[in-house]
Structures are given as structure tokens and as C-alpha cells.
Structure 1
């Protein structure tokens, strides 16, 4: 493999690709749900898909299951792609390369936050609300807001990736080629080695967390805490205002 070409770790490409497919599927099916039951802000005259709410919920559930792994990877191995301590300051350098990179990092971070809002609000909704015309619940409005933010973030994420890295970066994300040290056959041995030295590795993760920039640290707590809440809250609340 050409070492001068952009290279994305295989695990990142898998997590990024699967979560991206699920997110886009949830966005499209989410619009179809709105187009079927709501229509207050406009609609498209397309045939009704009767099980669309179930399809949207299933995509959302699989996205939620994958989200903790993708988020953890993003905040640790992929933290350079997220907001940095000087990212806001760099946004004042309009039109420069660092401005584009900082904007991409900001959008990537916002997308994780929007994803958490989407899964929490989706989990807190009741299936019967929309079919029965109950459209004024707070959780439904929160879900709509998260849906709109996700659309903007995904669009800008793709555009920024093309702008920052061009075609080579996009191809590196889509490529299935990987380096020998990145082979899936090594994943089990890496995991076993990490678990065998778990106390030191765990302490290393804690030290890394403490040493990270405070803004990203706070966002990581919000995102991972929000994902946990999306799993736990429906066990205690059956949905409501």
C-alpha cells in the first residue's frame, strides 16, 4: 500500500461507514415519518410506507447500539478530528486552510452531540403519538431539531472532508485495503493483550482523560452520559412531555 496516500484505520472505516449508513437511513426514514404523520412545515407527495415508523425506529436502535463504540473511538483514537482548544480562535482566520480544518472539527463534534439528542428524544417518544396526531410533545420537537441538525452536520461533514482532504481522503475512507498491522486477524490478540494489562491501561485512559483539553473532556462526558441515558431512561419513563 502507498504510504504517502491518506490512510484511515480499518476499525475507524468500519465504525464510520456503518454508523454513517445507519444515520443517513434514519434521516431519510425520519423525513418519511414526518411526511406521513406531520406535514405541518410542508410535504412531498410520495406514496405512504405503512411500516415506516417501525423502520425508522429499528434504524435508530441499531445506530444507538453502535454509537457508544464510535463515540469512544472518536474521543480517544480520533480526538484530533474533534474540536481542539484553539479551534474557536482559528475560526477567525477565515478562508485559510486551518479555518477549514477547524470548521470540520467543530462540525464533527456537533454531530456527536446532535446524535445523542436524537437517540435520547427518539427513545423517549411513544409510538402512538404521531399516528394519533399528538404532535406537540416536547420530545417530538427535540427529535425534529436533532434531525435537522444531523442533516446539516452530515452535509457539511462530507463537504469539509472533500475540501480538506480532497478526493484522496474520500477514497481512503471508502477503501477496504489495510496495512498488515491493521488486519482484523490481529484484533483479538490486541484485545487480549489490553485486557491482560487492564489496570495499567485503565489508569492510562484516566490519565489521558485528565490531560485532554477541558472543552473536549466536558463534551465527552455529555456525549457518553447522554448515550447511557438513552439506554436507561426508557426503563424508568415510558415517554411523556
Structure 2
């Protein structure tokens, strides 16, 4: 593999690719659920699918199972792609390369927070609410807000990724092949046990805690 090409770690490509597919499918199926049962803020008139809630729920549950691994990777092996301790100072350098990089890191961080909020609120919903016309339930409204946050953060993630890294960055996420030293046997060797900064420690507690709640709270029917 040419060393001049932009390269992304194999584990990142695997986790990022899986998460990307599931997030996009969840966004589409989630909007389909809204378009079927709600429509108060507009509608595309999508055809009715009898089990669209079940389809959306299956996609979301699959994503929830992947999310803890992706989150741990992000905070420990991919921490340089998230918000940093000096991000606030960097935001003052408007228009400079570091400003765009910082915006990209903020978008990446926002995505983690948004998908966590989405899985928590989604897990607290009941399938019978929407068919019964109960569209003002707090958990449903919170889930709609989280869906919007995921949509916005995904758009920012793509736009800022294109701005900062251009086509080479986007292409590197889909490229096959391993560089020497990036074999599966070496992945754990690069693991940092602690987040890179205090702000990431706080965010990791919030995200991992939220994921844990998404698994636990439905068991108690709260």
C-alpha cells in the first residue's frame, strides 16, 4: 500500500463503517415511523409499512449493541478526533485550519452524544403509543429531538470531514488493506486506559452511562 495515501486504522474503518450504515438506516426508518404515525411538521407521503416500528427497533437495537465498542474506541483510540482541552481557544482562530479541524472534532463529539440520547429515548418508548395516536408522550418527543440531533450532527460530520480532509479523507474510510503494524494482534497494544483530557473523561462517563441506561431501564419498565 502506498505510504503517500491517507490511511485510517483498520479497526476504525470497521467500526465506523458498521455504525455509519446502522445510523443511516435508523434515520431513514425513524423518519418513516414519523411519516406513518405523526406528520405534524410535514410529511413525504411514504407508503405504509405495517411493521415499520419493528424494523426501526431492530436496526436501533443492533446499533445499540455496537455502540459501546464504538464509543470506547472513540474515547481511547480515537480521542484525537474528538473535542480537546484547547478547543475553545482554537475556536477563536476563525477561518484558520485549526478552526475547521476543531469544528470537525466538535461535530464528531456531538454525534456521539446525539446517538446516545437517541438510543436512550428510543428504548424508553412503547410500540403501542404511536398506533394509538399518543404522539405527545415525553419520551417520543425527546426521541424526535434526538433524531434531529443525529441528523444535524451527521450532516456536519460529513461536511466538515470533506472540508478538512477532502476526497482523500473520505476515500480512506472505504479503502481496503492493512499497513504493517495495524494487524488485529496490535490493536489492544495501542489502547489508552484513560481519556486524553478531562473534558473527554466527563463525556465518556455521560456516553457510557447513557448506553448502560439504555440497556437497564427498559428491564424495569421505567
TM-score range with shorter-chain normalisation? over 0.9
Following the alignment from structure 2 to structure 1, what is the Cα–Cα distance between the partners of residues 88 and 103?
Answer: 9
Following the alignment from structure 2 to structure 1, what is the Cα–Cα distance between the partners of residues 24 and 45?
Answer: 21
What is the CA distance between 1:182 and its match in structure 2? 2.2
**Higher helix share goes to which structure?**
1
Q: Secondary structure at the match of 1:174?
A: coil
Following the alignment from structure 1 to structure 2, what is the Cα–Cα distance between the partners of residues 162 and 130?
Answer: 38
What is the CA distance between 1:175 and its match in structure 2? 0.6
What is the CA distance between 1:82 and its match in structure 2? 0.2
Verify the 8 A CA contact 2:36 2:48 in the aligned structure 1.
yes
| Residue 211 of structure 2 is aligned to residue 227 of structure 1 | yes
What is the CA distance between 1:177 and its match in structure 2? 1.6
Runs (4+) of structure 1 moved beyond 6 Å? none
What does residue 138 of structure 2 align with? 138
| Residue 112 of structure 2 is aligned to residue 128 of structure 1 | no
Verify the 8 A CA contact 2:36 2:46 in the aligned structure 1.
no
What is the CA distance between 1:180 and its match in structure 2? 3.6
Structure (1 or 2) with the larger CA radius of gyration: 1
Following the alignment from structure 1 to structure 2, what is the Cα–Cα distance between the partners of residues 155 and 123?
Answer: 24
Q: Secondary structure at the match of 1:43?
A: coil
Give the number of equivalent residue pairs. 222
Unaligned regions of 5+ residues in structure 1, if any? 195-200
What does residue 197 of structure 1 align with? none
Q: Secondary structure at the match of 2:173?
A: helix
CA deviations on 1:127-175 (whole Å, 9 max, x unpaired) are: 0000110111111011001100110111110111111111111111011
Unaligned regions of 5+ residues in structure 2, if any? none
| Residue 197 of structure 2 is aligned to residue 216 of structure 1 | no
Verify the 8 A CA contact 2:32 2:46 in the aligned structure 1.
no
What does residue 7 of structure 1 align with? 7
| Residue 104 of structure 2 is aligned to residue 104 of structure 1 | yes
Following the alignment from structure 1 to structure 2, what is the Cα–Cα distance between the partners of residues 235 and 182?
Answer: 39
Following the alignment from structure 2 to structure 1, what is the Cα–Cα distance between the partners of residues 100 and 119?
Answer: 29
Q: CA RMSD in A?
A: 1.7
State the TM-score, normalized to the length of structure 2: 0.95
State the TM-score, normalized to the length of structure 1: 0.88
What is the CA distance between 1:36 and its match in structure 2? 0.1
What is the CA distance between 1:231 and its match in structure 2? 0.4
What does residue 237 of structure 1 align with? 221
What does residue 63 of structure 1 align with? 63
> Which is worse superposed, 174-183 or 217-226?
174-183
Following the alignment from structure 2 to structure 1, what is the Cα–Cα distance between the partners of residues 172 and 53?
Answer: 35
